[in-house]
């Protein structure tokens, strides 16, 4: 089997969703993910998550300031990267599902590497029994390290949830990194309103209710 030139299995979108959730929601999203940086594919996403691991281990809240104090300009992590994460963010409640996809694609990469290694061992004339034993041992480690069970629903007492300030795109109407739904009958102007919002963001125009404009971007 020749895998040269093929892009390895990866879940970069889910990696960014978890990292964005950590930026927007804090350590709760990290704990719900239940994965390690070694399972990430993208090196920048992995460096960000590893920094979060280290901060949490030291008892430091993994907020934007703490992460930038260690990584700003290193491994591709900078203010622009973190700004983009805020828009790619998933919810803390969905972190286990993003993590499961990351974990599965990590296992697929390891399995592919194992298959390639087995091919080389066969080509090099190694004893079949030795190859088979090695294959079983490695596959078992991959399976045990995968932890594929997403688990049951996570129940959190709202009294234990720490309130956090919301970053607004359109103050009190559209939040950064949150789900916003425009609801209305067909032909009611939902698409027009979305285009208008996009234009205001990119040009830095005031919002219809007079709120201050955003920095164009």
The phi-psi region of residue 187 (left if phi > 0; otherwise alpha if psi is between -120 and 50; otherwise beta) is left
| 3-state secondary structure (DSSP) of residue 169 | strand
Residue 159: pLDDT band (50, 70, 90) is: confident
Give this prediction's pTM: 0.56
| 3-state secondary structure (DSSP) of residue 192 | helix
Pick among 3.40.50.620, 1.10.860.10, 2.170.190.11, 2.30.29.30: CATH of 1-164: 1.10.860.10
Average pLDDT, the chain: 80
Provide CATH 1.10.860.10 ranges for the chain: 1-164
Q: How far apart are CA 56 and CA 45, in angstroms?
A: 17
- What local confidence, expressed as pLDDT, does residue 147 receive? 45
Measured from the Cβ of residue 123, the count of other Cβ atoms closer than 10 Å reads: 8
What does the pLDDT look like over 115-156, one tens digit per residue?
777 777 767 776 667 766 766 777 666 566 554 443 445 567
Residue 10: is its pLDDT beyond 50?
yes
Q: Which two tokens stand for residue 100?
A: 């499961």
The phi-psi region of residue 16 (left if phi > 0; otherwise alpha if psi is between -120 and 50; otherwise beta) is alpha
- What local confidence, expressed as pLDDT, does residue 65 receive? 92
Residue 61: is its pLDDT beyond 70?
yes
Question: Across the strands, what pairs with 170?
Answer: 174
């Amino acid at each position: 089997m020749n895998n040269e030139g093929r892009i390895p299995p990866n879940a970069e979108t889910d990696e960014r969703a978890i990292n964005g959730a950590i930026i927007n929601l804090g350590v709760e999203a990290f704990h719900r993910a239940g994965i390690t940086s070694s399972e990430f594919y993208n090196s920048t996403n992995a460096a960000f998550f590893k920094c979060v691991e280290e901060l949490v281990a030291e008892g430091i809240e993994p907020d934007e300031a703490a992460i930038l104090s260690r990584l700003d300009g290193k491994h591709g992590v900078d203010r622009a990267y973190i700004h983009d994460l805020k828009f790619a963010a998933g919810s803390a409640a969905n972190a286990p599902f993003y993590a499961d996809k990351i974990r599965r694609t990590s296992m697929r990469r390891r399995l592919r590497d194992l298959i390639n290694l087995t091919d080389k061992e066969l080509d090099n004339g190694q004893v079949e029994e030795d190859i088979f034993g090695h294959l079983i041992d490695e596959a078992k480690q991959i399976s045990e390290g995968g932890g594929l069970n997403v688990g049951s629903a996570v129940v959190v007492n709202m009294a234990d949830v720490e309130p956090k300030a919301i970053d607004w795109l359109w103050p009190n109407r559209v939040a950064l990194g949150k789900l916003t739904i425009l609801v209305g009958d067909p032909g009611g102007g939902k698409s027009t309103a979305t285009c208008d919002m996009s234009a205001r963001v990119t040009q830095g125009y005031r919002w219809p209710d007079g709120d201050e404009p955003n920095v164009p971007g």
